[in-house]
């Protein structure tokens, strides 16, 4: 029953195609010499001829489709899932292109037959472009894989580089100093914090010293380190690399930084200089503190308490809360007093910033 229905459908489709072909020939004036009954006969012959052709080729089409389907199933079963997915993606793209191409064609209307020929043409376009997309997707599998592999390698390199650049290595001096804990808590230090095992051992050695001052510094360093480890927003790791062939702790720190491509956090001036020579990035806490000191300009008014005399004759010294030294001209006679002053100049030195001021006349007070 189904076969008969398909046979009838193919005969009708062949008749429509035959009529369309004859109609198009008539439109281009190829049948202009025929009139009346003769032209009608030509139309009938065209319809019958194409109906017979479609009827005769229908069994072969069905057989070819069945064979092709089985071949496709067999081929798909042999393909890896990645190739199948790439083929499907290519086919989908081909079908989208076919839709864009076919849409204007489906808007055309032909006399007597409407847009049926355009529908047939659209079906052919869909099949062709869909198959083309499938083939392109499969045949370019290796190129796509190579592209994805390069992208993955590039991403891994960038990720590894970012991880290395975010590593910060603490030296002994900056841990004993203590300000690093507040800086980390404030969120100014990102990435992993590395504390070398030899730095930890040096702190322990200082904490066990017979000298009271050194012992206090060592114990404070160990306490600060414990507080840093308790900061939940920061990852702190104890590196077990010892470098037994290197004697000095500073040299070991620089070697570790070189290997990890990390940055050294210190407030040791000499370590900073050596690291710069060896092309190792350094974050110096003292430089950060100097950068954060308030900016003053000549002519600005300041109220200071003179604490002691300076090196030069008649000089007095005062200090801001951040430790910045203030040199007061003719301030020796005002030691212990709070006075109003005017800034005369500012000097930036390797040790920090120095502010020079002079006392305003008749402004001293106890």
Q: How far apart are CA 60 and CA 275, in angstroms?
A: 83
SS3 at position 353: strand
| Helical spans, DSSP H, in the chain | 2-27, 37-78, 81-106, 116-139, 141-165, 172-177, 179-185, 197-207, 212-229, 249-260, 269-277, 285-292
pLDDT at 222: 93
- Tens-digit pLDDT profile for the chain (366 aa)? 666 776 777 778 778 888 887 777 777 667 767 777 777 888 888 888 888 887 787 667 667 766 776 776 676 666 666 666 777 777 788 778 878 887 777 776 666 556 666 777 778 877 777 777 766 666 655 555 555 565 565 555 544 444 455 899 999 999 998 889 988 888 888 888 999 999 999 999 999 989 999 999 999 999 999 999 888 788 889 999 989 899 899 999 999 999 998 999 998 888 989 998 999 999 988 888 777 777 788 889 989 999 998 888 889 999 987 778 899 998 988 999 999 999 999 887 766 678 999 998 765 444
pLDDT at 162: 47
Q: How far apart are CA 339 and CA 328, in angstroms?
A: 10
How does DSSP assign 200-218, residue by residue?
A: HHHHHHHHT-SSHHHHHHH
Question: Exposed, middle or buried: residue 54 (CB in 10 Å: 0-12, 13-18, 19+)?
Answer: buried
Q: Name the residue ranges covered by the structural domains of the chain.
A: 2-143, 166-290, 295-365
pLDDT at 35: 75
Q: How far apart are CA 153 and CA 204, in angstroms?
A: 43
pLDDT at 295: 78
Q: What is the topology classification, in CATH, of domain 295-365?
A: OB fold (Dihydrolipoamide Acetyltransferase, E2P) (2.40.50)
Q: How many CA atoms lie within 13 A of 6 on its CB side?
A: 10
Domain 166-290 class? alpha beta
The pairing of beta strand 325-329 with beta strand 352-365: parallel
pLDDT at 365: 46
How does DSSP assign 157-174, residue by residue?
A: HHHHHHHHHT-EEE-HHH
Question: Which of 299, 331, 293, 295 shows the shortest CA–CA distance to 312?
Answer: 331
């Amino acid at each position: 029953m189904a076969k008969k229905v398909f046979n009838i459908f193919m005969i009708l489709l062949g008749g429509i195609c035959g009529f369309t072909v004859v109609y198009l020939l008539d439109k281009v004036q190829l049948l202009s010499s025929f009139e009346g009954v003769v032209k009608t006969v030509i139309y009938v012959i065209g319809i019958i001829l194409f109906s017979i052709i479609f009827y005769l080729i229908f069994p072969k089409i069905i057989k070819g489709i069945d064979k092709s389907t089985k071949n496709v199933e067999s081929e798909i079963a042999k393909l890896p899932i990645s190739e199948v997915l790439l083929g499907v993606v290519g086919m989908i793209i081909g079908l989208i292109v076919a839709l864009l191409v076919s849409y204007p064609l489906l808007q055309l209307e032909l006399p007597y037959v409407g847009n049926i020929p355009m529908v047939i043409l659209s079906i052919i376009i869909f099949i062709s472009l869909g198959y083309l997309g499938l083939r392109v997707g499969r045949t370019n599998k290796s190129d796509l894989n190579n592209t994805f592999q390069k992208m993955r390698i590039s991403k891994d390199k960038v990720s590894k580089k970012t991880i290395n650049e975010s590593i910060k290595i603490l030296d002994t001096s900056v841990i004993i100093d203590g300000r690093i804990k507040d800086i980390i808590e404030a969120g100014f230090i990102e990435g992993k914090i590395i504390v070398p095992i030899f730095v930890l051992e040096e702190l322990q050695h200082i904490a066990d010293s017979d000298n009271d001052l050194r012992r206090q510094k060592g114990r404070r360093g160990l306490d600060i380190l414990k507080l840093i480890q308790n900061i939940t927003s920061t990852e702190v790791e104890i590196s077990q690399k010892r470098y037994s062939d290197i004697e000095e702790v500073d040299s070991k720190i620089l070697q570790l930084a070189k290997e990890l491509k990390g940055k050294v956090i210190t407030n040791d001036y000499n370590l900073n200089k050596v690291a710069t020579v060896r092309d190792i990035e350094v974050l110096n806490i003292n430089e950060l503190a100097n950068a954060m000191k308030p900016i003053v300009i000549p002519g600005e008014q300041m109220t200071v308490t003179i604490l002691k005399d300076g090196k030069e004759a008649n000089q007095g010294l005062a200090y801001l809360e951040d430790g910045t030294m203030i040199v007061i001209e003719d301030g020796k006679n005002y030691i212990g007093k709070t006075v109003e002053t005017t800034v005369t100049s500012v000097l930036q030195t390797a040790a920090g910033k120095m502010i020079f001021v002079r006392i305003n006349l008749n402004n001293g007070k106890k």
